[in-house]
Amino acid sequence: MFKNIKTEFGKLTPDYINSHQESYKKEILSGESTAKQIENATDVFLNLVTTKEYEDFPIFRSVLINTISYSDDAILRPTVGQVIRRQTSTPDIRNYFEAYFSQSIIPDLEVIQKRYRIESLTEDYWLNIAYVQFRTSNTLDDPPDESKLTAVMTFIFVRDPDVGWKIRLLDSHQIVLNVPVELVKGGDVFKNQSPPIWKLPNPYFNQ
């Protein structure tokens, strides 16, 4: 779909990006319910981050992620990092995906499992509290647990005329593994959720 990106990137225009926005808009809005559209919008974002289609084009990928998935006033607290990012901050949202967190930089990055909890906040704002398990390495030298990362990703989506829904806020962090025994006894056990969810690597007292 994106032949000769290396030469075309230099002349990316709003029309060039908009031509791809329409296809993503159809994909997102294909959901019959708003909840399904939020699920689709989350899937589109995760696919843009992990697809191998843009593995040689980290800048182009980051432009797509930023344009398709994030609103102009979006806020990102990334899974890996210490600062809150905005479109106009330094560092900004796009830089996170260009410089670090995408399949272009982490070649084996993929989503293994995901679980969404989607709720309405208002007619135009929806919440998705997502558990997403990523694989960061596929080499045989890596212990299986160390190549997996479970992120707790809290999305707030806002209705958008360009693609249907965009991320207004993404607050993401790695799930806590070493949960105190006192909390585990009280039911703070990841795998006991309903429906059942994947196990976490040790240390976690419920394994």
Domains of the chain: 5-175 (3.10.450.50), 176-207 (no CATH)
104, 55 Cβ separation under 8 angstroms: yes
121-125, 141-145, 157-161, 176-180 — which is least confidently predicted? 141-145
Position 201 confidence tier, pLDDT thresholds 50, 70, 90: low
Tell which wins on pLDDT, 173 or 187: 173
For the residues 166-171, what does the mean pLDDT come to? 98
pTM: 0.87
Residue 25 identity: K
Residue 91 identity: P
Position 189 confidence tier, pLDDT thresholds 50, 70, 90: confident
- Which element (helix H / strand E) includes 40? helix 34-50
- Looking at the chain, the number of H-run helices and the number of E-run strands are 6, 6
CA separation, residue 41 to residues 70, 82, 169 (Å):
11, 26, 13
**CA-based nearest residue to 165, from 139, 140, 136, 128:** 128
Q: What six digits make up the tokens of 143?
A: 């212990």
Res 5: pLDDT: 43
* Contacts with 189 (C-beta within 8 Å, 6 or more apart), sequence order: 206
